[in-house]
Amino acid sequence: MSSSAVAPSPTSTSPLAPSIVAEKREHARAVEVLVDRAFGPGRFAKSSERLREGNSKLDDCSFVALHEGRVIGSVRLWPVVVGDKPVAFLGPLAVDADERKHGLGQALVEAACEAAAKAGWRAVLLVGDAPYFGRVGFSAEPVSQAIMPGPADQRRVLVKALVEGGDADLVGPIRIA
Ligand X SMILES: CC(C)(COP(=O)(O)OP(=O)(O)OC[C@H]1O[C@@H](n2cnc3c(N)ncnc32)[C@H](O)[C@@H]1OP(=O)(O)O)[C@@H](O)C(=O)NCCC(=O)NCCS
140 contacts: CB under 8 Å, gap ≥ 6: 130, 154, 155, 156, 157, 158, 159
Instruction: Of 14, 172, 7, 160, give the one whose Cα is nearest residue 89.
Output: 160
Sign of the C-alpha dihedral computed for residues 47, 78, 9 and 20 taken in this order: positive
Residues within the interface to ligand X (CB under 6 A) = 38-39, 91-95, 100-106, 128-129, 131-132
CB of 84 to ligand X, least distance (A): 26
Q: Closer to ligand X by CB, 30 or 171: give it.
A: 30
Closest to ligand X by CB, 57 vs 100, is: 100
12 vs 106 by CB, closer to ligand X: 106
Give the nearest distance from C-beta 89 to ligand X in angstroms. 11
Provide the terminal-to-terminal Cα distance of the chain, rounded to the nearest Å: 33
Which residue sits closest to ligand X, CB atoms considered? 105
Of 174, 173, 171, nearest to 145 by C-alpha is 171
Count, residues in the chain: 177
Least distance to ligand X, CB of residue 80, Å: 15
The distance of closest approach from Cβ of residue 45 to ligand X in the complex, given in angstroms and rounded to an integer, is 14
Q: Which is nearer to ligand X, 28 or 163 (CB)?
A: 28
